[in-house]
Amino acid sequence: MEIFDYTFMQRALLAAVLVGITAPAVGIYLVQRRQALMGDGIGHVAMTGVGLGFLLSANPVWMATAVSVLGAVIMELIRWYGRTRGDIALAMLFYGGMAGGVMFINLAPAGSNANLTSYLFGSLSTVSESDVTAICLLAAFVVLVTVGLRRQLFAVSQDEEFARVTGLPVRALNLLTAVTAAVTVTVAMRVVGLLLVSALMVVPVAAAQQLSRSFVATFVIAVAIGVSVTIGGTVTSFYQDVPPGATIVLLTIGAFIALTVLATPLARRRARAAAAGQSAGDPAECVIPAGRAPERKVGV
């Protein structure tokens, strides 16, 4: 295929696959915790890291990783101790991160807002070998955490009090989730962009929940959707000369709509079957409400 004749597209496709895996893998825990917009907030903070990278002549991906991890930790601390002023503190953190990114990149000798645009909305042609190396290392960390600690992270995301009673280090696991989300944002920013990455973390999970309420099945389906839309968006961007980040997000939303339409008749049949079972005297089946996470023991 023609697309594989270009080295930059080989790098872009590899990055797209890694983003498609990592974003939903972290997003499923954020959805469980009802923190679906956390990725968007971290993306704002990561802009300061990108600007610092240009200002200090350092790799923007690694600098954005450091700054976004710090921002994620601060966000988690605000969630614990912020009380009534927590929303104001988070707003200042988010918008301060965006303003810092614009300021630093304009202070850099070779920086401009044009440089920042490729990080905000994604750019296939600017994914370098050093970017791919950084993305591979960061993606390995995300997969190791989200798969290796899936039982513990799921328990904390589902019910913090229950997890605390069972002896799990709840605060440490919450911090780890926040740090992993921050790493995922920097993994995805070269392909999807900082302003759009949150959609790829949340929408595939929401789409997968239309088909399954088991945690494991939802995880697998969400990752499959993520990989499909990132590859599809990258290929479409190459052949149609359209923005990759916007294309990927629109394909993701399209997948959600399609799965919702397909799942509606199935849900109706299940409801009729449950009603028929109750009328026949069978015990009522425990059904998880749509959009809610599965029970603690299901599929883990």
Q: CB within 8 A of 260, min separation 6: which ones?
A: 207, 210
| pTM exceeding the 0.85 threshold for the entire prediction | no
Q: Cβ distance 18 to 183 under 8 Å?
A: no
Neighbours of 238 (CB within 10 A): 19
Scanning the structure block, which residue is given the tokens 């990561």? 46
CA neighbours closer than 13 Å in the CB half-sphere of residue 188: 39
Position 67 scores a pLDDT of 93
Give the mean pLDDT of 175-199.
89
- Give the H/E segment covering residue 290: none
Scanning the structure block, which residue is given the tokens 């912020």? 82
Neighbours of 172 (CB within 10 A): 11
Position 277 scores a pLDDT of 66
Secondary structure of residue 6 in the 3-state scheme: coil
How far CA 12 is from CA of 1, 32, 130, 138, 183, in Å, comes to 15, 30, 12, 16, 18
pLDDT digits (tens, 9 = 90+) for 232-250: 999 998 888 888 889 999 9
pLDDT above 80: residue 151: yes
Give the mean pLDDT of 70-75.
89
Give the mean pLDDT of 185-193.
87
Position 91 scores a pLDDT of 81
pLDDT digits (tens, 9 = 90+) for 74-129: 888 887 776 555 577 778 888 888 898 888 888 888 766 667 778 888 887 778 88
pLDDT digits (tens, 9 = 90+) for 154-170: 899 888 888 888 889 98
Please give the sequence-ordered ranges of beta strands (E in DSSP) within 136-284, or none if there are none: none
Q: Cβ distance 158 to 40 under 8 Å?
A: no
Percentages of the chain per state (helix, strand, coil), in multiples of 5: 75, 0, 25
DSSP assigned state of 4: G
